[in-house]
Structure 1
């Protein structure tokens, strides 16, 4: 009996020592590692992002299926369509900084769940929101379009359904999309001197390597580390005026759509050796995380397990 009691006391001492070591080890973890882990675990809610209502493969200039990309939103100023945007939370949209630069955000509205802007019955299916706040990137340069990214906070949240869902942010483990095919969707002009489209259209464009982008007609000086090119060397297919702020998106290995770029700038539309230039979203993941504050993000397939 005495030996059993002594053994139990020793066990308690050993257990206490182990607990002490674990606690001290936790204190030794760098602050930035602990805070990042906390944000990662806290930042996702019980919903899925990037679910496409796909109907057919993308060919140049196709009209989309109704609500095929349920995160696409339109920004209007004074009732006139102005730019595109992408829904990333129940309250927040991602767009280009130049789309809101110089505007009073109280004069802007966003429309979600839209397809044909001339459809007389569209008010039954769309959601229209005012803006509570906007955050243009603090280092946006209107001359070079560097850091051309902004977050819009709507004045009230939306409910997710088959018509309105968020797009996924890119996985920060995968930085190079060169050679991948991305999809642009928007209500922009169908050609350089054409009219703004009344229906949502989509085109597929390949992402260029940084070297190829530098060797384009823009030259290396015009392309910052926060930009990438996408398009065809021969031209013919591209984003155009009115597509600004909208997403360039592609499917990840799990089939979810990620927004890897924001339509930013270009010389003309679909010109030879002058591809579209996009803001590289993966460079701004921490900035986006800070901008949405306590609002959670939906999980993509890679984060569901």
Structure 2
């Protein structure tokens, strides 16, 4: 697809869509709305559920309004479209260790450097970036990444502090939901921007009827599942989609396994 069309479908950061990050006190607890029940009645709380403290300890909130996951104690993995370029950068604050962004227990660490995927916005794809922190996030577990396509299927978990509905405000509390894998063929058949899906670099997930999805402000956050050892592994990075939770319009994620070697190499140089 064209660059302009693709950019308009990004799960943009809060800053990109609103000019500033707005945290809502007790907003609807949903990373995305669940599908309607068979009788057409929506659940009482539209959306997923709040994550428990410590449930996904490697989740990171970035001050430009994106999400991320702690890849090493001092490096956050996020989306390339959340940052502008590779180079020294001390303007980003990472918030870690809490589900409530207003908690007095939150750990806040400034960035020192950003590495943006050199293949981002090219025909080979690569919507990923690394943010080096000024100091290690001591005592916080990291999230390993998928190095093979073995886990690019099944049901995935998603989490973030982004909007609970399309165009909605950012959330105070970390919210979670689950979405099923969508094949490349089905994803491309959604039409529009999806016809330009880069099969080797992107992975889709969502319900045919919509209702569950990541949304604006969730960019850069992980899509993850358990591996064969029962450990969490990151298989996707929130990238783009047409709107949020629309029927027939799944979420599109950077396929982490495709870029695992490049990610590891870049991290080793930071």
Q: TM-score w.r.t. structure 2 length?
A: 0.77
Contact kept? 1:137, 1:149, Cα under 8 Å: yes
Q: Give 1:50-69 correspondences, 5 Å limit.
A: 60-69=47-56
Q: What's the Cα RMSD here?
A: 2.1
Q: 1:126 to 1:168 in 2, by over 3 A?
A: same
SS at match of 2:179: strand
Write out per-residue CA displacement over residues 162-216 of structure 1, whole angstroms, 9 at most, x where no aligned residue. xx211111142x44623x1101100010011322111000010001111111212
1:165 pairs, out of 138, 141, 146, with: 141
Note the C-alpha offset of 1:255: 0.7
Structure 2 unaligned spans of 5+: 1-33, 35-46
SS at match of 2:90: helix
1:216 pairs, out of 173, 185, 190, with: 190
Note the C-alpha offset of 1:101: 2.1
Higher RCO structure (Cα 8 Å, ≥6 apart) = 2
Contact kept? 1:218, 1:274, Cα under 8 Å: no
Contact kept? 1:145, 1:264, Cα under 8 Å: no
Q: Partner residue of 2:42?
A: none
Question: Are 2:165 and 1:191 equivalent residues in the alignment?
Answer: yes
Q: Partner residue of 2:38?
A: none
Q: Partner residue of 2:107?
A: 127
Question: Are 2:56 and 1:72 equivalent residues in the alignment?
Answer: no
Note the C-alpha offset of 1:114: 2.0
Number of positions where the alignment pairs a residue of Structure 1 with one of Structure 2: 223
Write out per-residue CA displacement over residues 75-105 of structure 1, whole angstroms, 9 at most, x where no aligned residue. 004xxxx000000111111100011126983
SS at match of 1:132: strand
Structure number with larger C-alpha Rg: 1
SS at match of 1:114: coil
Write out per-residue CA displacement over residues 214-264 of structure 1, whole angstroms, 9 at most, x where no aligned residue. 212346642012111100111111100011100000011111000000000
1:264 pairs, out of 221, 225, 239, with: 239
Q: TM-score w.r.t. structure 1 length?
A: 0.69
